[in-house]
Chain A
Amino acid sequence: MSDRALNQARGRLIVAWATVAIFLGVLALLATRVAGGQDPALRARAAAAPLPPRRVLVRRILEKRVIVHLPPSAPAQPTQASQQVSAPGGYPSSLPVTRTS
């Protein structure tokens, strides 16, 4: 092997060793940071903008009921079967009643 060929082989070997050394150096640096809780991927996610809170629509259904409790009392007297009234005023003598018939 000539001197020139030896020099070329030595140069390639140096480049290869240098590449491996740089790779191992960077790998060691990253491993150290990950071990220290400084995972860049996790940090990027944590640094992202927080999600907006979910909106929950609450509908309240109101049902109005009026319950009237009546005190017990005697039944009303039935209407007189036949009667006629002519009143001078503008209103009847007794109010009309809606009832079961």
Chain B
Amino acid sequence: MSPLHDITFHSMGSDIRLIIENPLLPGLDSPEVAAQQERSYIEDFAARLSRFRPDSELCALNADPAHEAPASLLLRTAVAAGVWAAERSYGLVDPTLLGEIEAVGYESSQDGHEPASLHEALTSAPPASPARPRTSARWREIEIDHERATVRRPPGLRIDTGGTGKGLAADAVAHRLRGYTRFVVDCGGDIAVGGIGHALDPIAVEVEHPLTGECVHVLRLAAGGVATSGLNVRIWRARDGSFAHHLLDPSSGEPVWSGLIGATALAPSALEAETLSKMALLTGPAGARRALARHGGVVVHNDGDVELIGPVGPGGARAQHLLGSAA
């Protein structure tokens, strides 16, 4: 066993944790130095892509009235990730719902705000109904031009990269750390895992219950990503007293109440895991079983029941169930 460096800090509105073991190759920085460098990278990533900071590159892009606007490599990559997620989710994870998310009350960062009670929200929630993609699919009108270093979109079409930001950041840092024995990049619960060490000895990742905070399941990852979407953190009371949250049904622009309050997805990358977890939560129990069937996942129903899906379920080799066993 080699020494590891484990650092936790706050960024992107969440707790970020980096766990890095020794480098595989000579010449690479120590895990401690690498962790500080990756912390700086994530903080820079967050500052440049935040929709809550008027001086961010994302806000500059959204304020630019021209059809074609200059964009850095990071911004182009973030926009491309948003479009990729929309494509992957058949339009459910839509990066063009910025006006809608502001309209339901998510106009400023909720970092540090106490979330409203999910229990109370569920008692007054409308009947469960799965989300559907928006027929206009305006995300298809976004074009990324790497040669000209620009993004083209219809004037006035604003882009929100927040839905895929943490997964993309975790993947980016994982890519930068690929020379280390093993590492974990945890961007607020969206996690990328890699390194030869984990390939030989998969790391355990706990899945947290959105209502109780308990660990309901342990996933074992050799590589790739895992991410969780839920209603329990970004949830608030609207001005009319009703409850709202940040996961919108693209077809209506309103918060979705699909019958699920949490969804965890495994995937080859954190970006795909984040996309699949949102897709699962948006589409409800039946849609989640389809979305998570291939790589596996865990969903939590409105009543708190936990369901294991795909390879992590019965007979799956990628998970160890904690409840009722010695953990």
Contact = CB atoms under 8 A, between A and B. Distances in A.
Interface of A: 64-70, 72-93, 95-101
A10 B154 CA distance: 116
A100 to B, nearest CB: 3
Contact of B208 (A86, A90, A97): A97
A74 B219 CA distance: 23
Contacts of A75: 212-213
Interface residues of B, number: 63
Nearest to A63: B289
Given A65-B308, A97-B215, 14 more contacts: A66-B314, A68-B305, A73-B212, A79-B15, A81-B15, A83-B8, A86-B4, A86-B6, A87-B4, A95-B205, A96-B203, A98-B208, A99-B208, A101-B187
B216 A101 contact: no
B205 A68 contact: no
Contact of A93 (B6, B32, B228, B323): B6
A101 B207 contact: no
5 closest A-B pairs by CB: A90-B1, A101-B188, A76-B213, A100-B230, A75-B213
Nearest to A86: B5
A58 to B, nearest CB: 23
A96 B306 contact: no
Interface of A is mostly: loop
Interface string B245-285: 00000000000000000101000000000000000000000
Interface of B: 1-10, 13-15, 17, 19, 21, 32, 35, 166, 184, 186-191, 197, 203-210, 212-216, 218-219, 226-234, 262, 264, 304-308, 313-315, 321, 323
Which of A70, A76, A93 has the largest count of B CB atoms less than 10 A from its CB? A70
B212 A90 contact: no
A70 B5 contact: no
A76 B208 contact: yes
Nearest to A100: B230
Given A76-B208, A95-B205, A82 B10 contact: yes
A69 to B, nearest CB: 6
A96 B7 CA distance: 12
Contacts of A88: 3
Nearest to A82: B9
B214 A96 contact: no
A95 B184 CA distance: 10
B190 A68 contact: no
B10 A66 contact: no
B263 to A, nearest CB: 9
B8 A100 contact: no
Given A81-B10, A100-B229, A92 B208 contact: no
Given A70-B304, A86-B3, A96 B186 contact: yes
Nearest to A79: B15
A92 B184 contact: yes
A98 B205 contact: yes
A101 B190 contact: yes
B313 A72 contact: no
A91 B214 CA distance: 21
A18 to B, nearest CB: 87
B244 to A, nearest CB: 15
Contacts of B166: 101
Contact of A98 (B5, B35, B206, B313): B206
